Structure 1
Amino acid sequence: MNCFYKLFRNTNSAVCALVLFSLWFTSGLKGDAKKGEVPAEAWMSSLPSHLLISSLTIPGTHNSGALYEPLRGTAACQRLTIVQQLEAGVRFFDIRCRHESDQFAIYHGPVFQHLTYAQIEKTMAEFLRKHPNEVLIASIKQESSPRRNTRSFEDTIREYISEAKALYFTETTIPKLGEARGKIVLLRRFASENNLGIAATNWGHNGFYQGRQLFVQDRFELRDVKTKWELVERGLEHSIQSKNQGLLHLNFTSGYVKNVFGIPNIVTVSNEINQKLANYLAEKSRCRLGCVVTDFMTPKLSRYVFKLNFERNPK
């Protein structure tokens, strides 16, 4: 009887140990971390807080809220919603706001995207509450012509910020991760009388720009896709070779070519460039590329980008 009790007790101990090990092992396999990967929704959380955000490799989306278009290839730049982009690891957002009735509506050119800035802000706030160690960069630009307003574009964005002060980082300097965790870093592409956020007003139209804080490759009016890839690759290599860790690189892979009728076609560019970019990133080990900003971002492509912040990351 005593022998049976000892055997039963030992067996129970073994089973308990096995169960506990199983629970411990599977607890780390959340989301896309099931293969030992860094979780896309919280990839910044394990990075040291002393790092400048400009020293990182960050997935970004061009015209982040543009999912609708009247004619295929002319206005939509993403298929993932803002929520889906956040969960996929995107941390740089290109937000185009039409100023109307003293509020911001999201547009791409003249095309309304059935989205408001207030909705984007709410989505980002909810995400950051769940993932307080992440940092979001919002590049805000005035789009289309303003109408029915009683105040300036700057006054309206200041009102959004004043109603959620704790949510924003509006200093003029490039922050460290620890300074901006749980916040939206404002990158300002509009005029400001009081130096609100990181200034990007000298960022020109359709080309390269380099200033004290920013390096931008944003050539989007194209004759051919080959030229665009050469520009993207040049921008990526500039990021790798730059010794200035305080210089934030923004490398846009987006653009369009016109068809025989003179109508812009976005998809023609993104289909080819995104594949070239994936191939390029797959061959890289840990390096600093800045913000890699694409049309039609996917979870897989986003992972190719942010994995370059870590020593060991599976493809």
Structure 2
Amino acid sequence: MPGRTVRATAALALALSVALPATASAAPHCASITEATNPDWMAALPDGSSLAQLSIPGTHQSLSLHGGDLTQTQENHGDSAETLTAQLRAGIRAIDIRVRRYDDLFTLHHGPFYQNANFADVLREADEFLAEHPGEVVLMRLKAECTGEIGSCADHNSSLDVGQILDRYRREDPHGGVLYDPAGGAVPTLGEVRGKVVLAVLQNAHGGLLPGRGLGQFTADTWDEYVQDRYEVPTVFDIDDKWFAVRDHLARTAAGDPSRMFVNFSSGSSPVAHPNTVACGAPGIRGVNDYALEHLTGQAPSRTGVVLMDFPGAALVNAIIAANPDRRAAR
């Protein structure tokens, strides 16, 4: 089909010719996350509020800073999880951590690229932030990254599985006490877990959920009901389709069971549509973050659920926080 060939060729040429910055652009939807300051936004919410009821801004591949445009998903505010602290101060309360098993410990990876941070760094930075802001809660998706396949990484010298290594951190790391595992139970209330990092899901390298870990509502059978993660964006001309998936899941969340947590990945990529491009756009092409900011500021949804983003700008973080009941009146 000649039309499709021309379209794909144009997409490839545009993706290769547009030199986007390694960090987010200056447009409001992708302006620096450090322009947002929300270190205590959960503290004003009632203890009885379920985490499922809230609108929670988060980051996808939260500490993926190295490896080039194809793998970088966040602004770089320092290695050893210093970037995490910048995100938490801005108001991010959901994080996506990808780990390699290395000598029965966790190092952080995106594919084959080490991200100059270890899981102990994540625990330290989160624990120190929560000690200073004890009214807050951080949700964590923890996923094994290494499949051993081409383009991925391989685990090294580890006899313990992902769950066993996580439990080792909880027992032995000086900051391990910050971790809270619902152990397959219900979504907790804020009052039950303030000052904690709550394990939402624990996944193996191929995405399978480890039973009895994290929130019990997430199973192989219910994953697609509660989670939108259409991550493949073949070309820059398919960014609209990614946004439609995000928009539809926002509507599903607003109308859904308030006792259930909904998770919406706004991220996407491909070899010719890099994470920054999908999130922030390119000349003549809108990014998902731009669509999302316009949607959230125009419609004031009753609940966004957890939104995991690449390169979220300050305005987008603020808009998600503002969707919480105690914030809407101030919009």
TM-score by length of 2: 0.75
Instruction: Write the mapping of 1:107-146 to structure 2, written as runs, cut at 5 A.
Output: 107-144=109-146, 145-146=154-155
Correspondence for 1:258 = 271
Question: What SS does the aligned partner of 1:44 have?
Answer: coil
Instruction: Write the mapping of 1:179-190 to structure 2, written as runs, cut at 5 A.
Output: 179-190=192-203
CA RMSD of aligned residues (A): 2.1
Q: Kindly tell me the number of residue pairs found equivalent between the two proteins.
A: 263
Q: 1:282 aligns with which of 285, 288, 297?
A: 297
Q: What displacement does 1:266 show?
A: 1.7
Correspondence for 2:57 = 59
Structure 2: distance between partners of 1:190 and 1:257: 22
For the pair shown, the structure with the greater C-alpha radius of gyration is 1
Question: What SS does the aligned partner of 2:224 have?
Answer: strand
Correspondence for 1:273 = 288
Correspondence for 1:25 = none
- Within the alignment, does 1:170 sit opposite 2:181 as a pair? yes
Cα 1:256–1:218 shift into 2, 3 Å: same
Question: What SS does the aligned partner of 1:106 have?
Answer: strand
Structure 2: distance between partners of 1:166 and 1:258: 40
Of structures 1 and 2, the one with the larger relative CO (CA 8 A, separation 6+) is 2
Structure 2: distance between partners of 1:279 and 1:185: 30
Correspondence for 1:99 = 101
Query: Higher mean Cα deviation, 164-173 or 149-158?
Result: 164-173
Structure 2 residue runs of 5 or longer lacking an equivalent are 1-35, 78-82, 147-153, 281-286
Structure 1 residue runs of 5 or longer lacking an equivalent are 1-37
- Within the alignment, does 1:238 sit opposite 2:252 as a pair? yes
Q: Which amino acid aligns with 1:137?
A: L
- Within the alignment, does 1:149 sit opposite 2:166 as a pair? no
Correspondence for 2:26 = none
Question: What SS does the aligned partner of 1:82 have?
Answer: helix
Q: 2:170 aligns with which of 161, 178, 201?
A: 161
Q: 2:241 aligns with which of 227, 235, 241?
A: 227
Q: What displacement does 1:167 show?
A: 1.5
**Higher strand fraction: Structure 1 or Structure 2?**
1
Structure 2: distance between partners of 1:253 and 1:188: 18
Correspondence for 1:295 = 310
> Which digits, 9 at most, give the CA deviation of each residue in 1:230-279, with x for residues without a partner?
1000000111111x1111111000001432xxxx5222211111111111
Q: Which amino acid aligns with 2:166?
A: I
Identity of aligned residues (%): 29
Cα 1:193–1:232 shift into 2, 3 Å: closer
